[in-house]
Amino acid sequence: GEFVLHYQPLVRASDGQLEGMEALLRWAHPQRGLVPPLAFIELAEELGCIEAIGAWVLDEACGQLARWRAQGLGPRRIGVNVSAHQLRSTQLTAHVQACLTRHGLPAEVLVLELTESAAMAQPEASIRCLQSLRALGVSLSIDDFGTGYSSLAYLKLLPIQSLKLDRSFVRDIEHSENDAAISAATLALAHTLGLHAVAEGVETEGQRRFLQAQGCDLLQGY
């Protein structure tokens, strides 16, 4: 009962309109304060409770979007992170469908985010799982792009709709030629593959201007 979700907005680069929210897990620990997922997800995987946590996050995020929609508020879409472990579960598609039904949400409002490493760990099995999720109508996004081990040969086979440029490239995009070049190339790669490009960690006007000029579709900040 100590988990909470925090939400980060995604706005359209073209006009700043709110498009979606990403749900991010935090552990509101009574002594340690707000613990980020990096500090406990690996442990949760080892202890075998990652699926229960993943199911809670999905249910809570969908419930929140349903409440926003009922109030005529908020984003059109909700992004939820999926771990490699969840991706290996044969139940994932059924769980996602059941959760959408429970909250009366159409599948198009849900964006599942997975890292390159999760998607590429067992590529054939992942592609099958992602295809069945895609068949439901949910969108799929590659998270933290550029930070993991990735195979471009597999990337083109994944039934994904968007790439998320990792925040580590965005942070110094105004001052680092390397980060600017990597970001521009990643956005171009996304568009060449027919995908939407999303930048994470956009916090300054300069970052926004650069990314907008490079054709980035969505900007996500804190």
What's the token pair of residue 167? 């925040």
Contact window for Mn ion (CB under 5 A) among 6-14, 80-88, 96-104, 129-137: 80-88
86 binding Mn ion? (CB under 5 A): no
Comparing CB distances to Mn ion, the nearer of 18 and 174 is: 18
Least Å from the CB of residue 37 to Mn ion? 10
19 binding Mn ion? (CB under 5 A): no
- Contact of 160 with 193, CB cutoff 8 Å: no
Least Å from the CB of residue 188 to Mn ion? 22
Q: Within positions 168 to 187, which residues make up the interface with Mn ion, using CB under 5 A?
A: none
Least Å from the CB of residue 81 to Mn ion? 5
Least Å from the CB of residue 116 to Mn ion? 12
Residue 2 CB: number of other CB atoms within 10 A?
A: 9
Comparing CB distances to Mn ion, the nearer of 122 and 147 is: 147
55 to 36, 44, 92: CA distances (angstroms): 18, 13, 9
Residue 178 CB: number of other CB atoms within 10 A?
A: 10
Q: Give the binding-site size for Mn ion (rule: CB under 5 A).
A: 3
Comparing CB distances to Mn ion, the nearer of 113 and 217 is: 113
Least Å from the CB of residue 72 to Mn ion? 26
Which element (helix H / strand E) includes 120? helix 116-121
Distance, CA of 186 to CA of 174 (rounded, Å): 16
198 - beta bridge partners?
Answer: 164, 218
Least Å from the CB of residue 77 to Mn ion? 13
143 binding Mn ion? (CB under 5 A): yes
- Contact of 216 with 198, CB cutoff 8 Å: yes
What's the token pair of residue 132? 């069945």
Contact window for Mn ion (CB under 5 A) among 10-18, 44-52, 104-112, 142-150: 142-150
Distance, CA of 55 to CA of 86 (rounded, Å): 9
Comparing CB distances to Mn ion, the nearer of 113 and 116 is: 113
Residue whose pair of structure tokens reads 């472990």 in the numeric block: 85
Q: Within positions 105 to 124, which residues make up the interface with Mn ion, using CB under 5 A?
A: 113
Which spans of this chain sit near Mn ion (rule: CB under 5 A)?
81, 113, 143
